[in-house]
């Protein structure tokens, strides 16, 4: 890997770390996701600093063209994360719906009680 | 006197122009002196589920004498129905109805639905395409095709043969409403999933012919490509069960 490519990928990884840290500090990110992306950018950093790692791992696994290993791993990772998000989103939607049903029923209950409490006429 | 009567659930989204008239129609059909109203129908509690309307649907419904349940945001027809069932499950009545707020369902068909419910059916659907209908109801080609596919899936997967499974005009027994309030998943889309759940639970399902008026206001809930997407989701939910 050329020096430029290594610098670019290191910068990219550093950029991701910076964004995640900023989001986390602003309270815009739940810590489990913060941790997930920090770990991801750590892996990116390692690969930028020592690209030979990829060849070594590829050698263990018997992969001939090792860069394809990176693509495969990245794609697999992204897929897993997306499916997990879909699941989490579905669960959130359901919880929100149940919450809103409760709000509607409670509001109805409250209105009825207020009406009863009002003096006649 | 012990006379629990009926409960009518009307999901409504931005229907301020029609909801009041629909409520008045239902009340006129189901109340009044016993000698003038059909024997099947008895005084009615009308429950309007306001599905996060931005107009004055809730006020119009309350002014017409309905119980109003207000969802704070728009969740869709199925979610509004689910809330209606949950409310109804905690009330006293002997037959529950569901009808549309846009005036498409005609209150004078209510006695026929209630009669079918009283004679043993747990879930009665008002069908626009029943062989006994005087004039078949005109619908768009996509919708017609979608209804055909859904009918077929329901027949094969659940063993119920219906001419108009997508009908939103229902009468239900208490076991049916209790089943729905327990088992309809949150995120419930459509009456079709309810139908599928009722069929799976072995409830008796029947159809009666109804006439349907052209909608008097508002917009169809889904159209065009969204309609296709909607039916695909529904088919998935019906055929493999689980959540919608």
Q: What is the pLDDT of residue B134?
A: 66
pLDDT digits (tens, 9 = 90+) for B13-35: 999 999 999 999 888 887 765 55
Q: Is position A59 within any domain? A: no
Instruction: Tell me the CATH class for B6-240.
Output: alpha beta
Best B12, B67, B68, B83 residue to mutate vs chain A (most A CBs within 10 Å): B83
Q: What is the pLDDT of residue B36?
A: 55
Q: Is position A70 within any domain? A: yes
Q: pLDDT: is B215 or B210 the higher one?
A: B210
pLDDT band of residue B147 (cuts 50, 70, 90) is confident
Q: Do A104 and B70 touch (CB under 8 A)?
A: yes
Exposed (0-12), middle (13-18) or buried (19+): which is B139, by Cβ within 10 Å? Answer: middle
Residue with tokens 């790692």: A53
Q: What would the mean pLDDT of B23-52 be, rounded to a whole number? A: 78
Q: Is position A2 within any domain? A: yes
| CA separation, residue B136 to residues A47, A69, A76 (Å) | 68, 61, 52
Q: Do A90 and B243 touch (CB under 8 A)?
A: yes
Query: With contact defined as beta carbons under 8 Å apart, do B179 and B197 qualify?
Result: yes
Q: Report percent pLDDT > 90 for chain A.
A: 24
- Give B45's DSSP letter: E
Query: With contact defined as beta carbons under 8 Å apart, do A46 and A57 qualify?
Result: no
Domain that holds residue A81: 64-121
Selection from B141-155, B180-194, B199-213 with the highest mean pLDDT: B199-213
What is the spatial distance between Cα A41 and Cα B204, in angstroms, rounded to a whole number?
58
What is the spatial distance between Cα B112 and Cα B88, in angstroms, rounded to a whole number?
21
Q: Is position A120 within any domain? A: yes
Q: Which of B67, B86, B187 sits opposite A94 (nearest CB)?
A: B187
Whether residue A75 sits in one domain with residue A43: no
Q: Is position A119 within any domain? A: yes
Whether residue A112 sits in one domain with residue A81: yes
B49 touching A, CB under 8 A? Answer: yes
Q: Is position A6 within any domain? A: yes
Whether residue A71 sits in one domain with residue A45: no
pLDDT digits (tens, 9 = 90+) for A35-78: 888 888 888 888 888 888 888 888 888 888 888 888 898 999 99
Whether residue A69 sits in one domain with residue A41: no
Q: Is position A99 within any domain? A: yes
Q: Report percent pLDDT > 70 for chain B.
A: 84
Whether residue A118 sits in one domain with residue A72: yes
Q: How far is A94 from chain B (nearest CA, A)?
A: 5
The total of structural domains in chain A comes to 2
Q: What would the mean pLDDT of B196-223 be, rounded to a whole number? A: 78
Q: Is position A105 within any domain? A: yes
Q: What is the pLDDT of residue B10?
A: 95
Residues 6+ apart with CB under 8 A from B12: B19, B48, B49, B50, B51, B53, B57, B61, B80, B101
Q: What would the mean pLDDT of B104-126 be, rounded to a whole number? A: 90
> Looking at the predicted structure, is the pLDDT value of residue B220 above 70?
no
What is the spatial distance between Cα B109 and Cα A120, in angstroms, rounded to a whole number?
38
């Amino acid at each position: 890997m050329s020096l430029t490519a290594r610098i670019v990928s290191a910068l990219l990884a550093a950029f991701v770390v910076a964004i995640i840290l900023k989001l986390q500090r602003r309270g815009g990110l739940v810590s489990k996701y913060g941790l997930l992306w920090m770990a991801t950018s750590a892996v990116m950093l390692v690969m930028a600093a020592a690209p030979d790692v990829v060849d070594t791992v590829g050698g263990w696994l018997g992969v001939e063209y090792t860069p394809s290993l990176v693509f495969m791993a990245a794609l697999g990772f992204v897929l897993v994360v997306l499916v997990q998000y879909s699941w989490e989103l579905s669960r959130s939607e359901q919880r929100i719906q149940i919450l809103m049903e409760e709000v509607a029923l409670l509001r109805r209950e409250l209105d009825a009680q207020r009406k009863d409490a009002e003096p006649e006429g | 006197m012990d006379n629990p009567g009926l409960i009518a659930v009307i999901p409504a989204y931005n229907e301020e122009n029609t909801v009041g008239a629909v409520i008045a129609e239902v009340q006129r059909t189901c109340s009044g002196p016993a000698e003038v109203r059909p024997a099947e129908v008895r005084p009615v509690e009308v429950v309007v589920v306001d599905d996060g309307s931005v107009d004055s649907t809730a006020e119009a419904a309350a002014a017409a004498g309905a119980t109003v349940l207000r969802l704070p945001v728009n969740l869709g027809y199925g979610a509004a129905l689910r809330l209606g069932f949950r409310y109804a499950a905690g009330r006293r009545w002997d037959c529950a109805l569901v009808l549309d707020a846009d005036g498409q369902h005609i209150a004078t068909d209510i006695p026929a639905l209630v009669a079918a419910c009283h004679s043993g059916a747990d879930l009665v659907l008002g069908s626009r395409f029943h062989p006994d209908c005087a004039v078949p109801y005109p619908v768009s080609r996509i919708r017609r095709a979608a209804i055909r596919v859904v009918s077929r899936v329901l027949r094969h997967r659940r063993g119920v043969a219906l001419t108009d499974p997508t009908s939103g005009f229902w009468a239900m027994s208490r076991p049916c409403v209790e089943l729905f309030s327990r088992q309809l998943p949150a995120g419930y889309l459509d009456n079709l999933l309810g139908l599928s759940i009722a069929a799976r639970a072995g409830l008796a399902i029947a159809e009666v012919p109804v006439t349907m008026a052209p909608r008097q206001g508002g917009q169809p809930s889904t159209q065009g490509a969204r309609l296709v997407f909607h039916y695909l989701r529904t088919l998935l939910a019906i055929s493999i069960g689980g959540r919608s």
